[in-house]
Structure 1
Amino acid sequence: MRINWFCPLPPEKTDIAHYTNRILADLQKYADIVLWTDKDDWSPELTKYGEVRHYHPDLLPDTEIKKADINFYNIGNNAAFHGSIWKVSQQYPGIVIIHDVNLHYLFTTIFPEYLQPGSQQDAYIDLMVRCYGVFCKQDIEKLFGHNLTWSVVSERYPLTFAALENSLGVILHNHNPFTMVQQEQRWPVLYAPLPYPSTPISPVVKNSSRQRPPYQLIIFGYLGGTYRRVQSVIEALGTLPEKSLFRLDIYGQVWDKNYLDGLIERFNLQERVTLHGWVTESTLDNALANADLAINLRYPTGGEASGSQLRIWSHGLPALVTRIGWYAQIPENAVAFVNHDHEIADIQRQLQNFVADPASFARMGENGRGILATEHSPALYAQKILNFAREVISSSVTLEVTTKPQVSIVIYAYNCSQSISQTIESIMKQSYDDYEIIVVDDGSTDNIRKALEPYKSQIRYTRYQNYQGISVARNQGINMARGWLIVFLDGSDRLLPHLLASQVACFDTNPSLGWVCAGFRWVNELGEMLTDVEPWHDFPLLDWETFLVCKQLYMGAMMFEREWLEWVGGFKTELNYAQEIDLLSRLALINCSGDWSYQVAVERYQSPKVDSENILAMAKASESVLDNLFRNSELPEKASRKKERSLYHNLVWFAWNFYQAEEYQLMTEYLQKSLAYTNYFLGKSITSLVEKFKFYSLKAGYNFNAYNFTKFLDLIDLKNIHTKTIVKY
């Protein structure tokens, strides 16, 4: 078999070039290799393994490239090394080997003027929309308007699939991204652990006579940004009471030497920390051979497998790693973990653990070497990827996709490991079975992956590294969805058995509908029924009055037609509260009609503890959404006429929530504000508030003591209530 291998080549300063060097001897045993590079220089020793050809991505030798049986494209997150490779991959199909899962930086360096109006910005926008649909446009506009940072946009939209648009197959070194790509069912996918020899590549001389302490710490690699956490290590060491027991050597080109020198001086570490800069491979291997502990942190991470960690293990060296991405999958007995949310404290704790028991850390390093030998063999890797290539060429790899499901159920998951299995089980018990389940994990910090493990073959799962908010997560769910109908659940909801069947029937009966809404059931922590909420008794029509006044609409009880959601651009990503009224109002503005499905369809958990901070955030968001809505010049007159009634009900609703949270001052403030939107006389105003509080309590399954509530009315200034014509509220 003849292969074209597009990859950075030594002496490029990227571990992906060294990765190629590590597998060439084994690859050439099974295939004829043509190594392609857009650089003018390459290591002469490469010609021992194959022919080396220079190319320009805009002047490709078509005949030569087509001589191969298959093309391999190694894609990482830097256009200096991988930009040309991606451009070639768009012209000639092949197998893409993903080295960095988050590729947003790759494409913003391919289109470096993406922030300026012009062809590069247009190309960037087009790429984003192709990968994420219209939902990303709102965040692109915020990025261009400097209202959203690049780092936030890159995490929300990693552009992984942009590298796969012309792919015949995909190879990944990280099991979680492998699962993510595999569940798309668009390409043949292979998981092959990143290869590395189980012994040091360069000969080393170990100084076994060196006295300890001080213990030798080492950081090395491509230190081109703060994500390698060098700054945190320096601070942790500088404030560590036992810092006299350590020395730290830093090898590699740092992003800002003056900054790090300043940190070293600030923490008085001039005698303990040394910046060595870039060194030869043999020098680095000797340094690793004589180190006691490596520090190999990442935050944030692009999800990549770590060649640096494999190199550390080849020396049997223990390491501190961040519990994130690929690293989080490493067994506990092979590394020492640092959690990014209390990074410096964890670094110090692990250094103190090392001082207390160096032998246990030494065993970690040996355990890592064992993992390296059994799972990361270059010879095994070469055989696996070439066998995969043969399957792709012969078209013997088949995809499981046959027909798209009718319904996509998007579960928003945030720290719900105790309840999400019940949510999934309730879906699987539906009488209607033409659905898919999508779980969007919004940076959960609990053990949710373990909870989802029994369902991994029945769900599609994606995860954000950091919390993004429910609207961002739901938009991602819409983007992943294959169904033409979509349901949004929280990770504590439970569907009643016939929800999907009855709501799909509504759309079949009336194809003009854009959404349908059912009732819901409040349940306690034991799953016991508190009360059923059936809003259609009070609001027979799903019209503007219902959107603006009714407080018993629940997103989990709704089903939407996907095209309408795309038309309005999905959920507004800046909203973590009040999404229902915002979305339904925007749908109504484009004449999207809804209807009731007249059944209680979902169980909704009611926490016994009411979080007043959340209520306040919800209240402010709701006020902002309503304010923007009523400022809209395109708002129909029938909706504009509901302004005062809507604001009144909204303020009283949140006053009731504060009452339940025993935040009586905030309750009083919101009741006071509500009086500006009522035309009732004094007595009628008091009666109305009591009735509303009683009504909301009943709908939520709470008891309400009207006598106790009226005591708080003395705190409200009732003197300036309007005396206009009485209107029923």
Structure 2
Amino acid sequence: MLKVSVIIPAYNAMHYLPKTVSSVLQQTFTNFEILIINDGSSDNIQEWVLNLTDKRVKLISQQNQGVSVARNIGISQAQGEYIAFLDSDDLWNATKLEKQVRCLDHNPTIGLVHTWMAVIDEQGKPTGKVMKSKTEGSVWKQLVEKNTVACSSVMVRRLCFQKLGGFSPRQNEYPVDVEDWEMWIRIAAHYPFTVIKEPLISYRQHISNTSTNWQSLNKAYRIVIEKAFQTASPELLYLKNRSYGHANLRLAWKCLQNRDRDYKQALNFRQQALIHYPQLRYSWEYIRLSLAIVALQLFGVNTYTQVLKLIYKLRRHLSSLGKESFIYSRLKIK
């Protein structure tokens, strides 16, 4: 029986897709299929897939309907017992599938397993940043506050989708950033999660191409949060303000990550975050955001961008030193 179906939605993704697929084909675990969902692309994706020699790779084409519909098409065609999602520009560590399959095989009550993730830049260089999630066990409360589960890190039992349905197809309401969040919340209401505490994926961080992206994201966050609390018991409603607080912090960061580096709008979202959840002012995320806003105000966009590059370079160096120290500490010197 086929064990894993890997679903990769792709829309004009050929700039990164070959490396992404290669990272799957190099997995130490081999009992899988790759379903690439061509979401109305105008590039040469069909010719490229036809030239691949590995028959585990299959192409399913549809008119452009958004990533949710693409993932749902993949789920409906999947033959695997487990389903793993991968964005077309992200990369997997070679042991990712092996470790997740082992985890689900040995823990039959777990519905979803995810991993930590390393952040890379647009060129694929490590930024030195690793996102370390602690989201495991009964995680509904954690997830409604904020999404700490990266889509490209996830492996889910197919029966979860058979029971709960797929991703929301309302792509006009849910931008790519949040439709997975809504899905994880639904799964968390019925199944425990677990996390492999290793960065087994590389998430490619892009600067947004549109200065108004935060507007659709703001709308989408509200839809997800309101939906999540529609049936919540009264004793859990205190989490709603926390959820809006974290969402506004995320929106503030989105403003800084746009090409416009709109720190004035970021200030507005930061203020809204504190109105909803005042304790956020003591969080490291809030402090980092405040420092970034001050840096933009003082130095301007160009200098701020150069400073970020220097920070990434320093972080890569420190990360490399940390790995070398880790390896050295385990050497048996005779």
Task: Tell me if the contact between 2:208 and 2:257 (Cα under 8 Å) persists in the aligned partners.
Answer: no
> Residues 551 and 570 from structure 1, CA distance in 2 versus in 1: closer, same or farther, beyond 3 angstroms?
closer
In structure 1, the partner of 2:149 is 553
SS of match in other structure, 2:194: strand
In structure 1, the partner of 2:215 is 616
Task: Tell me if the contact between 2:90 and 2:152 (Cα under 8 Å) persists in the aligned partners.
Answer: yes
Task: Tell me if the contact between 2:263 and 2:293 (Cα under 8 Å) persists in the aligned partners.
Answer: no
SS of match in other structure, 1:490: coil
In structure 2, the partner of 1:416 is 13
**Residue 459 (str. 1) matches residue 57 (str. 2):** yes
* Partner Cα separation in structure 2 for residue 542 and residue 530 of structure 1: 31
* Partner Cα separation in structure 2 for residue 570 and residue 562 of structure 1: 10
Deviations 1:339-359 (A, max 9, x none): xxxxxxxxxxxxxxxxxxxxx
Q: Map residues 349-498 of structure 1 onto 2, 5 A cutoff.
A: 404-455=1-52, 457-465=55-63, 467-498=64-95
* Partner Cα separation in structure 2 for residue 518 and residue 441 of structure 1: 26
TM-score by length of 1: 0.38
* Partner Cα separation in structure 2 for residue 650 and residue 429 of structure 1: 36
Q: Map residues 616-635 of structure 1 onto 2, 5 A cutoff.
A: 616-630=215-229, 632-633=230-231, 635=232
1:692 aligned partner, one-letter code? E
1:629 aligned partner, one-letter code? A
Deviations 1:180-208 (A, max 9, x none): xxxxxxxxxxxxxxxxxxxxxxxxxxxxx
Q: Map residues 283-682 of structure 1 onto 2, 5 A cutoff.
A: 404-455=1-52, 457-465=55-63, 467-536=64-133, 543-574=139-170, 575-577=174-176, 578-589=178-189, 591-609=190-208, 611-630=210-229, 632-633=230-231, 635-636=232-233, 639-661=236-258, 662-679=261-278
2:246 aligned partner, one-letter code? H
SS of match in other structure, 2:19: helix
Count of matched residue pairs:
292
The Cα of 1:603 is off from its aligned counterpart by 1.2
Superposed structure 1 runs of 4+ greater than 6 Å apart = none
1:546 aligned partner, one-letter code? Q
TM-score by length of 2: 0.79
Q: Map residues 177-188 of structure 1 onto 2, 5 A cutoff.
A: none
In structure 2, the partner of 1:716 is none
**Residue 708 (str. 1) matches residue 307 (str. 2):** no
Task: Tell me if the contact between 1:518 and 1:534 (Cα under 8 Å) persists in the aligned partners.
Answer: no
> Residues 615 and 588 from structure 1, CA distance in 2 versus in 1: closer, same or farther, beyond 3 angstroms?
same
The Cα of 1:495 is off from its aligned counterpart by 0.9
* Partner Cα separation in structure 2 for residue 556 and residue 617 of structure 1: 22
* Partner Cα separation in structure 2 for residue 563 and residue 527 of structure 1: 34
The Cα of 1:665 is off from its aligned counterpart by 4.0
SS of match in other structure, 2:86: strand
1:570 aligned partner, one-letter code? G
Gaps of 5+ in 1: 1-403, 698-703, 712-729
> Residues 696 and 580 from structure 1, CA distance in 2 versus in 1: closer, same or farther, beyond 3 angstroms?
farther
The Cα of 1:610 is off from its aligned counterpart by 5.0
The Cα of 1:584 is off from its aligned counterpart by 1.4
* Partner Cα separation in structure 1 for residue 257 and residue 124 of structure 2: 21
* Partner Cα separation in structure 2 for residue 619 and residue 648 of structure 1: 12
Deviations 1:556-597 (A, max 9, x none): 1010001111211111100333112211111223x2111112
In structure 1, the partner of 2:285 is 692
* Partner Cα separation in structure 2 for residue 554 and residue 533 of structure 1: 12
Deviations 1:416-463 (A, max 9, x none): 112111111111110000100101000012222233233263311111
Task: Tell me if the contact between 1:568 and 1:587 (Cα under 8 Å) persists in the aligned partners.
Answer: yes
SS of match in other structure, 2:27: coil
1:422 aligned partner, one-letter code? K
2:86 aligned partner, one-letter code? L
Deviations 1:234-261 (A, max 9, x none): xxxxxxxxxxxxxxxxxxxxxxxxxxxx
Deviations 1:473-532 (A, max 9, x none): 000000010001001111111111000010011111210111011011111233211134
The Cα of 1:407 is off from its aligned counterpart by 0.3
SS of match in other structure, 1:650: helix
1:471 aligned partner, one-letter code? S
More helix by share: 2
In structure 2, the partner of 1:296 is none
Task: Tell me if the contact between 1:406 and 1:484 (Cα under 8 Å) persists in the aligned partners.
Answer: yes
The Cα of 1:638 is off from its aligned counterpart by 5.9
The Cα of 1:543 is off from its aligned counterpart by 1.1
* Partner Cα separation in structure 1 for residue 208 and residue 78 of structure 2: 34
SS of match in other structure, 1:674: helix
Task: Tell me if the contact between 1:495 and 1:603 (Cα under 8 Å) persists in the aligned partners.
Answer: yes
SS of match in other structure, 1:602: strand
Q: Map residues 43-58 of structure 1 onto 2, 5 A cutoff.
A: none
Deviates more, 1:543-552 or 1:407-416: 543-552
Q: Map residues 207-226 of structure 1 onto 2, 5 A cutoff.
A: none
* Partner Cα separation in structure 2 for residue 642 and residue 475 of structure 1: 30
Task: Tell me if the contact between 1:694 and 1:706 (Cα under 8 Å) persists in the aligned partners.
Answer: no
* Partner Cα separation in structure 2 for residue 654 and residue 425 of structure 1: 33
Q: Map residues 190-201 of structure 1 onto 2, 5 A cutoff.
A: none
* Partner Cα separation in structure 2 for residue 675 and residue 649 of structure 1: 9
Deviations 1:53-89 (A, max 9, x none): xxxxxxxxxxxxxxxxxxxxxxxxxxxxxxxxxxxxx
2:56 aligned partner, one-letter code? Q
Identity %: 25
* Partner Cα separation in structure 2 for residue 481 and residue 673 of structure 1: 42
SS of match in other structure, 1:455: coil
SS of match in other structure, 2:133: helix
